[in-house]
Amino acid sequence: MKGTILQPTYLPWLGYFEMIDSADVFVVFDHVQFQRKSWQQRNKIKTSNGVVTLTLPIKRKGRNTRICDAEISYNQGNPLEKHWKTITLAYKKTPFFSNYESIFQDLYSKKYNMLSDLNFAIIETISEILGLDKKIVFSSRLSLNDENMGKTEKVVNLCKKVDITSLYDAKSAAEFLNIPLFDKEGISVTFQSYKHPTYNQPWGNFVAYLSVIDLLFNEGDSSLEIIRGGRERIS
C-alpha cells in the first residue's frame, strides 16, 4: 500500500495535497515534537498589500510538547476571528471565494483548543473540496513505542504499523532518512519533486508557495488539476 506521512500544518501549500492525492493512506504525523515558528502554526496568503503571514499563537509548554498536545492561545483575543477577517478582505473579490465562503466561515467560527484539531479540520475540509478520499490514520492514536528510536526507525516502524509498503515522502526527507533500513523491511521510498504551477492570481506578479486557499479562491474546480500539474518525481 502506498502511503504518505505528513505533519498537520496550518493551511497547507499545494504540494501537501499533491502528496495526499498520490497515496492510498495519509498518516497524520502528530505524535512528534511541535516546532515553534514552523508551518505547523502559520502560512502565507496574498493580499492587495502583498504577502501576509497568518500565525496562530500557541500556549507555552515544555520543549518536548508533541504536535497533538500543542494548544492555541486566546490570550490576545480570538486569532481565528482575526485570520478569517484577513482572509475575507484578501479574497472576497476573487472569482471563487463565494463558492467556499460559508465552508471556511464555519471552520473559523468554531473555537479549537488544540492546534492539531484545527489543522486537521482544515486539511480534511480542503481534501473534501478537492475530491480526495483517502484512508486516514493518526500516529498519536497508535501504540508505536518509538520513544528511543531514531528518525528513520520511527518512520519505518510507522510504515510497518499501518502496512505501508511504498512510502511517498517530502523531498527534504531525503537528507536524513537512511534508505537501507527501508530496503531491509521491503519498503520502497519515493521522494516528491514538485514544480510549483502557476495559476490566475491578482495583484501583480505571481507568488508561489502560498496556502492552497489562494489557489481555491482563484481557480475553483480547476484546483486539483492544477495541483497535479506540478507533479514530478525523483527516487
Q: What does the buried/exposed string (b/e) look like for 178-196 if buried means 16 or more CB atoms within 10 Å of the residue's CB?
A: eeeebeeeebebebbebee
Query: pLDDT of 85-143, one tens digit each?
Result: 999 999 999 999 999 999 999 999 999 999 999 999 999 999 999 999 999 999 999 99
Quick check: helix, strand or coil at residue 181?
A: helix
Model-level pTM? 0.95
pLDDT of residue 61: 87
Residue-wise pLDDT tens digits, 10-27: 999 999 999 999 999 999
pLDDT of residue 235: 44
Q: What is the pLDDT of residue 233?
A: 56
Q: What is the pLDDT of residues 181-197, one digit of tens each?
A: 999 999 999 999 999 99
Average pLDDT, the chain: 96
**Where along the chain do its domains lie?**
2-234
